[in-house]
Structure 1
C-alpha cells in the first residue's frame, strides 16, 4: 500500500524526443508488512535498468548529489532512492536510542534492530515496486546495508557497489579518534548549529584534493534538518549506530555474496579507515577494489563523473542483462 504527496509523477522526453522519463518529484510512501513506512522517490525511463541507492548513517534520500543522479539517469538507469528507517520521512522506530556511553563502548540495547532488518526494508520496497533485481549502490552505512541485502536476498541484487564502507570487524574500518570526538558532541538544537557542525565535520573528513561546494552543503544541511525532524533526528542516528553495532562482524556473511561487486574507498578517510574497504573486497569473492587517491568520506563534485563510470562498468558485469 502506497500513497503519494500532491505533485506525483512528472513526464518529459529526452533530447532525442523519443524516450519517456518518469520522475517522482515528491515523496512517496510505502507501508511494508513489517509496519515500517518507507519514503522513496524514483527517476528515469520506465524501461530503464533498476538501480537502488542506499544512503549512509543519518543521511536521507537527498544525500545523493544531483550531478550523480543525473549521471546515472544519462546512463539509462531507473534510479530508486529512499529514506532508511529513522531518517527523513520514513518510520521513526518506537524504541529508546542507545546512550552515548553505549555507543562509545559498542553495547547496543537489547532488541535493537540490525543492518539485516534495514536490508529487509530495501527488499520490501523493491518488491512493492515490482523490481525483481536491481543494481545496488550504498555509501558508508548504506554500503553495509547493501552488503546485507546481497548476502540475505541474493536473487534481488544484480550487482553491488559498496562505497567507503566496511565489514563490521573491529580491527578494520574504524573512525579516527578525532572523528569520534566530534561525533560525541551533544546533538545540535537549531538548524544554524547543525549547519555549522556539518560544515565543520566536512572540513575534518573531507578532502583537500576534492573539496566540497559550501553553497550546496549549506542548502542540503537546511533541507535534511527539516526532513529529519530537527532536533529529533539525533535519536534516529543513535538507533542506526546501534544497528551497526548489533550486527557485529559480518565477514562470514559477505563470503556468501555472489553478485559482481565493486568496492570503492578513498585513501584519506577519517570516518571509515581505508582498511575497511580492503577487508570488504577481500571478504566478497571476486570483488574489485578501487582505492581513489585523495578521496575522503564525501561524494565530492569532482569525483562524481568517475564514480558514475565505475558504477556503470560494474552494472555491465550482470550476466543476465
Structure 2
C-alpha cells in the first residue's frame, strides 16, 4: 500500500474506485487500523460513485509510530494535559495533510468512534476542506453524554496478554461485548479478522496515546454549532461503548443534521447494516452537491 509524507509523519493509505470521482475519506477510531473499514464496505461506496480513501491514523497500523513517552492517563483525565502527546485537532490536521498530499481540494468525510471525533474537529477547524460530514457511533466530547457501560470499558482497558493467541482471544472477547446484538455475527470470521489485524500491525500502546488525545481535547459542542456542511450522524441503538446519547447530542449540536439510529446496532459495523449506511451517506453527500 502507498504512503504520503508531510511534516514528520508518514500515513499509510489505500483507495477504491475512480480517482476522477468525488473523494470520500474514511477515518477509523481509537487504536483501530484502516483495515477495520472492510473492503466490501469500501467497494459499496465506490459503486455509488465515490473515490474512497482509507488510512491509518498516526501511531497505528503502518503509519508513523511516534517515539514519545506514554501519557499519564489519570493525570490527563484530571486536567493535567502535560503528558498528552497530541490532541484530536492534530489528528484532524493529519486528515487535511493527507488531502493535501493526494491533491484533493475538498472531500466527503466519514469517521467512526474516535474517527467521528476527528471528522467533527476537521469540520470545525477546516470547514473549507469538507464537502459533507458523517459521524458514526461517536460523541461530542461533552462528558454528560455518550457514556459507555463500565464493564465494557473495564474489559477494553485490560493489558494485552504476552502471546499472539492470547491477544486474539482477548480481542475476540471484547468484540463479543461491543458487537451488535441485533445482527448475526460469525465468530470464526471475527477471529480471522482480529488475527489478520494483529499480524498486520500490533501496537498496543497506540490506544493509550489515542485515548489521551480524546481526554485532552475540549467539548466540541460550541464548535459544532457553527458547522454548515451537510451532516449525517449514525448511531446504534444498542451501542455499549459510546451510548446513543452521544450521537443524539452530536446531531442536536450541528444545524440541520440528520440523525440515523440503527436499531440493534452496537459499536461495530455489521455487514447487514452496510447498505443502510452507504445509502444514507450517499444521500447526505448529494445534499452537498445541491448546495
CA RMSD of aligned residues (A): 1.7
Question: Which residue matches 2:288?
Answer: 318
Please tell me whether the aligned partners of residues 108 and 243 of structure 1 are also in contact (alpha carbons under 8 angstroms). Answer: no
Please tell me whether the aligned partners of residues 42 and 78 of structure 1 are also in contact (alpha carbons under 8 angstroms). Answer: yes
Q: Does residue 1:298 correspond to 2:272, yes or no?
A: no
CA apart distance, 1:274: 0.6
Instruction: Choose 1 or 2 for highest CA Rg.
Output: 1
CA–CA distance in 2 between the matches of 1:208 and 1:264? 17
TM-score by length of 2: 0.95
Q: Is the partner of 2:261 in helix, strand or coil? A: strand
Alpha carbons of 1:222 and 1:254: their partners in 2 closer, same or farther (altered >3 Å)?
same
Q: Does residue 1:239 correspond to 2:209, yes or no?
A: yes
CA apart distance, 1:297: 0.5
CA apart distance, 1:251: 1.0
* Structure 1: 4+ residue segments shifted above 6 A: none
Deviations 1:26-85 (A, max 9, x none): x211111x2111111112112122100000111111001222112111111110000000
Alpha carbons of 1:103 and 1:234: their partners in 2 closer, same or farther (altered >3 Å)?
farther
Please tell me whether the aligned partners of residues 112 and 136 of structure 2 are also in contact (alpha carbons under 8 angstroms). Answer: yes
Please tell me whether the aligned partners of residues 88 and 117 of structure 2 are also in contact (alpha carbons under 8 angstroms). Answer: yes
Question: Which residue matches 1:209?
Answer: 182
Deviations 1:188-222 (A, max 9, x none): 33221121122211211112211333233222212
Structure-to-structure mapping, 1:233-312, within 5 angstroms? 233-312=203-282
Q: Mind listing any 5+ residue stretches in structure 2 that lack a counterpart?
A: none
CA apart distance, 1:102: 4.4
Question: Which residue matches 1:174?
Answer: 147
Report how many aligned residue pairs link the two structures: 291
CA–CA distance in 2 between the matches of 1:35 and 1:128? 13
Question: Which residue matches 1:19?
Answer: none
Question: Which residue matches 1:113?
Answer: 86
Q: Is the partner of 2:206 in helix, strand or coil? A: helix
CA–CA distance in 1 between the matches of 2:116 and 2:286? 20
Please tell me whether the aligned partners of residues 76 and 216 of structure 2 are also in contact (alpha carbons under 8 angstroms). Answer: no
Please tell me whether the aligned partners of residues 103 and 238 of structure 1 are also in contact (alpha carbons under 8 angstroms). Answer: no
Please tell me whether the aligned partners of residues 84 and 209 of structure 2 are also in contact (alpha carbons under 8 angstroms). Answer: no
CA–CA distance in 2 between the matches of 1:255 and 1:112? 27
Q: Does residue 1:222 correspond to 2:192, yes or no?
A: no
Alpha carbons of 1:175 and 1:134: their partners in 2 closer, same or farther (altered >3 Å)?
same
Question: Which residue matches 2:61?
Answer: 88
Structure-to-structure mapping, 1:105-144, within 5 angstroms? 108-144=81-117
Please say which of residues 274-283 and 59-68 is displaced more in the overlay. Answer: 59-68
Please tell me whether the aligned partners of residues 76 and 82 of structure 2 are also in contact (alpha carbons under 8 angstroms). Answer: no
Alpha carbons of 1:218 and 1:106: their partners in 2 closer, same or farther (altered >3 Å)?
farther
CA–CA distance in 1 between the matches of 2:177 and 2:79? 23
TM-score by length of 1: 0.86
CA–CA distance in 2 between the matches of 1:64 and 1:277? 20
Q: Is the partner of 1:318 in helix, strand or coil? A: helix
Please tell me whether the aligned partners of residues 163 and 265 of structure 1 are also in contact (alpha carbons under 8 angstroms). Answer: yes
Q: Does residue 1:43 correspond to 2:22, yes or no?
A: no
Please say which of residues 93-102 and 118-127 is displaced more in the overlay. Answer: 93-102
Deviations 1:220-258 (A, max 9, x none): 212221232x3xx12111000000011131111111211
Q: Is the partner of 1:234 in helix, strand or coil? A: coil
